[in-house]
Amino acid sequence: MAVLFISSLTPDRQEYWTNGFARSGFNAIQGVGLSMTNIIGNENIEFFSMPSYQSFPNGPMWLNGKTDTLENGATVTILPTLNFKIIKTIHWSLQYAKIIKQWAKRHQGEDCKVFIYNTYHPSIDYIYKACKKAGVKIYCMLYDLGIPPKRLGLTKLSMYGYKWAERAAEKYIPLLDGRIVINERIIDHYAPGKDYLLIDGGITDQLVSKLFSLKESKSSVYTFVLAGMLWDQNGTRLVLNALKSRPKLNVKVRICGKGIDVQLIEESAKLDSRIEYLGMLNQDQLFKVYEDADVLLNLRIEEEEDFHFPGKLLECLSMGKLVISTPIAHAERDYGQYMKILHDVSSEGLANLMYEITETSKHDLFEFGQKARAFMLENRTWSIRTKSIVEYMQLNTK
């Protein structure tokens, strides 16, 4: 099988950590790309990439093209473009259409598969048509779909671009040769009745290498950690209101990250000594906070129509700590036995569950965390998940 891998994958170096760089999405692309190379061989995969920059004037006007080397030694070709909204999408799409044609010609007679991450950049309509014209199959990893909520305050031009891309997604996702989805609602909405593979994320080799040894806590206080983007959709206000409703709850809540709720968190910390805001941490610092915790919080509040799944949940479960999670998407079905589910997604519901945990022995929490980490290492590394993706692609599905 010959694979043309189209994504925003670059070497994991500071020069590529731009203002458009998102670590969670990058980890998924990197996890699949590097693992796929190991499975099918470096000689059978080619990488082409679009750098992650915000559009001009928030990013450079022109993005240079070049070749670079990924962590596994594979070469990635980074495409140039004029960095304006919509224009860059069309420019990249036209370049990829030409690349697909040339690549398919070089691999004529082979089992050719184009693997693309998401449908927006480049636009799926260009890629689909190029693949069909070249006689190659197309598989898409569908991880970031849907029109952003109005409350984010995006510009009219940005919203127009999303709506245009959404129409293309609705038309072409059912026509793909294969769909790798992060959330089964994607299939229900875009391609009901079509085949798919559910891959809701994974843990990277880098994360595994940094996992700390587990030990049972001896502290009489129960330490909870909330980390990530700090806004109401990730449960910040839920936590603060839960603490406000239970002033005698025997807990410490450590909060890490950045976002629009930072000021609210800092003000709350001045009034409640149980709250500690640690700011934005690097991975090593964050893992130290995780190591000292008893409970990790994954409190994603779903939108009315939500096609996402929090990669943060998989990270938390890998830490070997008890996790509290909202029942987002299939979280309870697939991970419920390894964590506590917050069914009553309210400040009172969270306060009650936190109290229940403070009445649980630290030894029981320790054993819960051990089971969660063991499951993740056995089933959710990107090496294991990518093996499933490759097997799915080799089924020649339609």
Q: In what order do the strands lie in the sheet with 275-279?
A: 275-279, 251-258, 222-229, 295-298, 322-325, 340-341
Q: Which residue, among 60, 20, 281, 12, has the nearest Cα to 144 in the 3D structure? A: 20
User: How many distinct structural domains can be found in the chain?
Assistant: 2
Same domain, 159 and 287: no
Same domain, 154 and 264: no
Same domain, 61 and 91: yes
- Residue 368 phi/psi, 5-degree rounding, is -60, -45
Q: Measure the CA–CA gap between 353 and 342, rounded to whole angstroms.
A: 7
Same domain, 301 and 252: yes
Tens of pLDDT, residue by residue over 64-92, are: 999 999 999 999 999 999 999 889 999 99
| Mean model confidence pLDDT for the chain | 93
CB 340 within 8 A of CB 324: yes
Q: Measure the CA–CA gap between 118 and 125, rounded to whole angstroms.
A: 12
Same domain, 8 and 137: yes
* DSSP states of 190-204: H-TT---EE----B-
Same domain, 107 and 213: no
Q: Which residue, among 336, 333, 311, has the nearest Cα to 322 in the 3D structure? A: 336
Tens of pLDDT, residue by residue over 223-240, are: 999 999 899 989 999 999
The CATH number for 196's domain is 3.40.50.2000
Same domain, 176 and 217: no
The model's pTM: 0.91
* DSSP states of 235-262: THHHHHHHHHH-TT--EEEEEEEESTTH
Same domain, 219 and 362: yes
Q: Measure the CA–CA gap between 162 and 147, rounded to whole angstroms.
A: 6
pLDDT recorded at residue 23: 81
CA dihedral (7, 9, 10, 16) in degrees, to 10, reads 90
CB hemisphere CA count around 124 (13 angstroms)? 28
- Pick the range with the lowest mean pLDDT from 175-189, 228-242, 291-305: 291-305
Same domain, 173 and 236: no
Tens of pLDDT, residue by residue over 317-349, are: 999 999 999 999 999 999 999 999 999 999 999
> Helices 262-271 and 236-245, interaxial angle, to 10°?
20
Tell me the β-bridge partners of 256. Answer: 227, 279
Q: Measure the CA–CA gap between 367 and 375, rounded to whole angstroms.
A: 13
Same domain, 280 and 387: no
Same domain, 230 and 298: yes
CB 394 within 8 A of CB 1: yes
In 16-57, alpha helices (H): 23-40
Show the domain range for 214: 206-379
Tens of pLDDT, residue by residue over 115-172, are: 999 998 789 999 999 999 999 999 999 987 865 555 555 576 666 666 777 888 999 9
Same domain, 128 and 99: yes
- Give, in degrees to the nearest 5, the angle at Cα 381 between 380 and 383: 125
